């Protein structure tokens, strides 16, 4: 019996450290039983920080003039991909802002080349692209797509995620279902502790992960960026302070553990946002409380510093090689192994 939404809500409010240890141990057991001890490495390539959207929380939103913009060339992307292969990663994740300079055919060509020349799974995380783009990239060989729905509360979503200028609001849940229909493994997730997020809505977010039968779920703390409306408090959703979820490390572990109990088979990363809150042991604690994936950064260092969706991001000044060593060491130190192969959940029919 998967965990119910009312139990999720009770656990989110739990403060007793002894009981929380029981929750974490149960999440670790369920992780071990369902997805094993392997930790899959997904090499993250931040291919462009150009974005046409105005998400109220995100540092690379279109109207942050302080950001110097970049887009990697095909050759730069393929160099990162070759590094992923050399380091033994099973997956290349291409992530960007919603950048329509990333053309349908251009990216399809790159995806096809990766699939033709490497054994990697290809994951895309490129925002709310039109159906024709998603279908073309799937046809070119892309395996997975990540699109966090950010919150299941429609009123809060409307505040933090305004529609593109002149466009109707989009429905990320509908896009996720469409991705599944196209045969992608679909991933989603939320930020923890966004202003205006109540315990009740966060419990509903986690229940929604299970209802959508997601293959991948990313959850990490909300980290305020001063150059954004939400981070500078120019936008402040009304909420009873007793109902506001904190954007804390402790809350992140609860959500990771509950996500594992709600979705035993899912691939769940220990996120960079969590590592940013606790650079010493955040990644490891995430892996010991439900997570089974990490995403070492492959973006060339000169671009990496420009992909600042939130401040003080972990790994911002490390090289791909440093992240590779760091993560493999951390995985071994907690008695887990680096996953072999693509580490997918398996193709949909």
User: Which helix H or strand E contains 249, and what residues bound it?
Assistant: helix 249-262
Among 138, 225, 304, 330, binds ligand 5AD (CB under 6 A): 225
Name the region of 339 (left: φ>0; alpha: ψ -120 to 50; beta: rest): beta
Q: If binding is defined by CB under 6 A, does position 94 make contact with ligand 5AD?
A: no
Q: How far apart are CA 183 and CA 138, in angstroms?
A: 8
Q: Can you tell me the distance from the alpha carbon of 302 to that of 186, in angstroms, rounded to the nearest whole number?
A: 30
Separation between Cα atoms, residue 124 and residue 333, nearest integer Å: 30
Cβ closer to ligand FES: 261 or 274?
274
Q: Which of residues 39-58 bind ligand 5AD (CB under 6 A)?
A: 57-58
Select the residue interacting with ligand 5AD from 273, 291, 323, 338 (CB under 6 A): 273
CB of 113 or CB of 318, closer to ligand FES: 318
Q: Among residues 180 and 322, whose Cβ is nearest to ligand FES?
A: 322
The site partner of 215 among ligand 5AD, ligand FES, none (C-beta below 5 to 8 Å per kind) is: none
Distance in angstroms (rounded) separating the CA atoms of residues 215 and 176: 11
Cα 318 to Cα 11, 196, 329: the distances in Å are 36, 34, 15
Q: Does residue 148 touch ligand 5AD according to CB under 6 A?
A: yes
User: Which tokens hold the place of 295?
Assistant: 């995403």
Name which of 100 and 118 has its Cβ closer to ligand 5AD: 100
Closest CA to 122 of 146, 96, 95, 144: 144
User: Containing H/E element for 190?
Assistant: strand 185-192
| 318, interface contact from ligand FES, ligand 5AD, none, CB < 5-8 Å by kind | ligand FES
Query: Out of 98, 99, 133, 150, which residue is the one contacting ligand 5AD (CB under 6 A)?
Result: 150
Is 223 among the residues that bind ligand 5AD (CB under 6 A)? yes
- In whole angstroms, how close is the CB of 145 to ligand 5AD at the nearest point? 12
143 or 205: CB nearest ligand 5AD: 205
Residue 269 binds ligand 5AD (CB under 6 A): no
Q: Mark the segment that binds ligand 5AD (CB under 6 A) among 101-109, 216-224, 236-244, 339-347.
A: 216-224
CB nearer to ligand 5AD: give 133 or 308: 308
Gap between the Cα atoms of 247 and 229, Å rounded = 17
CA dist., res. 38 & res. 294, Å (int): 11
Please tell me the number of Cα atoms within 13 Å of 61 on its side-chain side. Answer: 22
- The binding site for ligand 5AD (CB under 6 A) comprises 57-58, 148, 150, 191, 220, 222-223, 225, 273, 309-310
């Amino acid at each position: 019996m998967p965990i119910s939404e009312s139990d999720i809500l009770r656990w989110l409010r739990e403060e007793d450290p002894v009981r929380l240890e029981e929750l974490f141990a149960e999440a670790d057991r369920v992780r071990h039983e369902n997805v094993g001890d392997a930790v899959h490495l997904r090499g993250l390539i931040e291919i462009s920080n150009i974005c046409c959207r105005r998400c109220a929380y995100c540092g690379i939103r279109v109207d942050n003039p302080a950001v110097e913009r970049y887009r990697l060339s095909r050759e730069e992307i393929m160099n990162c991909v070759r590094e992923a292969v050399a380091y033994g990663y099973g997956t290349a994740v291409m992530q960007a802002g919603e950048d329509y300079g990333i053309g349908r055919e251009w990216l399809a060509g790159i995806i096809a080349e990766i699939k033709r020349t490497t054994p990697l799974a290809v994951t895309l995380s490129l925002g709310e692209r039109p159906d024709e783009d998603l279908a073309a990239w799937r046809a070119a060989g892309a395996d997975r797509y990540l699109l966090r729905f950010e919150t299941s509360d429609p009123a809060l979503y409307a505040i933090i995620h305004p529609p593109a200028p002149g466009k109707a609001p989009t429905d990320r849940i509908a896009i996720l279902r469409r991705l599944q229909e196209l045969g992608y493994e679909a991933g989603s997730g939320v930020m923890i502790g966004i202003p205006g997020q109540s315990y009740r809505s966060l419990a509903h977010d986690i229940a929604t992960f299970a209802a959508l039968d997601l293959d991948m779920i990313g959850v990490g703390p909300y980290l305020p960026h001063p150059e954004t409306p939400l981070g500078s408090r120019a936008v402040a959703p009304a909420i009873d302070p007793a109902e506001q979820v904190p954007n804390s490390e402790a809350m992140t572990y609860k959500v990771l553990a509950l996500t594992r109990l709600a979705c035993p088979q899912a691939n769940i990363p220990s996120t960079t946002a969590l590592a940013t809150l606790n650079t010493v042991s955040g990644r490891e604690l995430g892996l010991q409380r439900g997570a089974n994936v990490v995403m070492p950064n492959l973006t060339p260092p000169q671009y990496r510093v420009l992909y600042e969706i939130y401040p003080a991001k972990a790994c911002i000044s490390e090289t791909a090689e440093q992240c590779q060593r760091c993560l493999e060491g951390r995985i071994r130190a907690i008695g887990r192994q680096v996953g072999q192969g693509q580490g997918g959940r398996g193709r949909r029919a």
